[in-house]
Each structure stands twice: as C-alpha cells, then as structure tokens.
C-alpha cells in the first residue's frame, strides 16, 4: 500500500502510533495498516470509499497485522478521486463523515487520531469536542493548505515535520468557538 507521507513525516507518525493504545482515523490507507500492526488495543478507521476500505482490509489480512481494524464506510454519495464527493446530490449526508463515528463510544477513547481524509477541519473539531484532554491529533497536509489554518483557533500545534502536524486541544479551548468552526466547515470536503 502506497504511503503518501514523506519519509520524515512517516517516521514522526510511526513514533506516535507506537505509543498509541487506541487509534482512530479519518481516511484509510497505509496508516491503517501501520496502526493495526503497532497500536496497543484498538484501531478504528473510516473512509468514504467502500472499495478502498476493502483494499485496506485485504492488506491487513495479507500482512497478518496484530489487530484487525474496525473499518467503517461512510456513505457521502458518489465519490471521485481521493474520496471527494463527485457532486452535491447527497450533500445532506456529508456531515456524517465527521459525525457518525461518535455513535460508537470507543471513538471518544482514542489517544491518537489521524486526520488525512475528507472534511479535515470538521474532523479536527469533532475530535476536540469528543476526545479526552490528553489526545493527540495528527493532521496531514496542514502546513501547505491555508484553508486548514483555522484549526489553530481551537488546537495547539506541538510538533510539525514537513506537512504533518501534531495537535492537542488548546488550554483555553472554547466549545462555543469550536461549534461555530464546525458549522463553518461541516460541508467543506477539503
């Protein structure tokens, strides 16, 4: 499975995964296989492409990963490249990408979250609203995409390597500000 992170990003990410007990991610792929090989207790992953999730499952089986991930398909309508919505016909379902996972109480118990799929800012907000205070959030492509930088309103970057940033909840986290940010980005698939 192809790794989209640079070698330095992958190294940083691997270090965090090695320390994770409960790993949750938005956007599946090589990161899922790595987490299923290294995480302590649980791996949860969601994606907007059923075919892609099937490939990830096959890769985990082929590699005989230590854990088998809980893979969840989120139907946001027809998708194109990288799981982007192909059109707006199912727009009303888009928020399910970042909201549906919280129906499983285990999702809120993660200690490491990866945001590397769709609706990235909304995913970050949801993590900070639901996860514990000690959770780390890895956010891929953060630095190079200015439209993600509103995340700094509610999250504090603690380390960055190339285009992978690790965040924690800001000490002055304001749930009302987070809710406003979520409303602004709930339908933004970037």
29 vs 34: CA distance, rounded Å:
9
> For 120-134, how does the pLDDT look when each residue is reduced to its tens digit (9 = 90+)?
999 999 999 999 999
Low-confidence ranges of the chain (pLDDT < 70): none
pTM for the model: 0.97
Q: Which of 3.40.50.720, 3.40.50.150, 3.30.470.30, 2.60.120.260 would CATH assign to domain 8-90+107-185? A: 3.40.50.150
- Residue boundaries of the structural domains of the chain: 8-90+107-185
> For 32-47, how does the pLDDT look when each residue is reduced to its tens digit (9 = 90+)?
999 999 999 999 999 9
pLDDT at site 160: 99
pLDDT at site 175: 97
């Amino acid at each position: 499975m192809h790794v989209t992170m640079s070698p330095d990003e992958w190294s940083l990410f691997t270090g965090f995964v090695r320390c994770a007990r409960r790993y949750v991610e938005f956007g599946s792929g090589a990161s899922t296989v790595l987490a299923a090989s290294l995480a302590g207790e649980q791996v949860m992953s969601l994606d907007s492409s059923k075919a892609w999730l099937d490939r990830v499952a096959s890769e985990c089986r082929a590699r005989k990963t230590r854990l088998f991930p809980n893979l969840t398909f989120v139907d946001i309508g027809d998708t194109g490249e990288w799981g982007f919505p192909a059109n707006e016909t199912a727009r009303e379902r888009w928020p399910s990408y970042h909201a549906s996972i919280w129906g499983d109480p285990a999702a809120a118990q993660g200690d490491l979250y990866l945001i590397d799929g769709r609706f990235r800012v909304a995913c970050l907000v949801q993590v900070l609203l639901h996860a514990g205070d000690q959770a780390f959030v890895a956010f891929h492509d953060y630095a190079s995409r200015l439209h993600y930088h509103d995340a700094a309103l509610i999250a504090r970057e603690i380390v960055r390597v190339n285009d992978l940033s690790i965040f924690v909840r800001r000490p002055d986290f304001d749930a009302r500000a987070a809710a406003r940010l979520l409303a602004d980005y709930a339908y933004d698939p970037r």
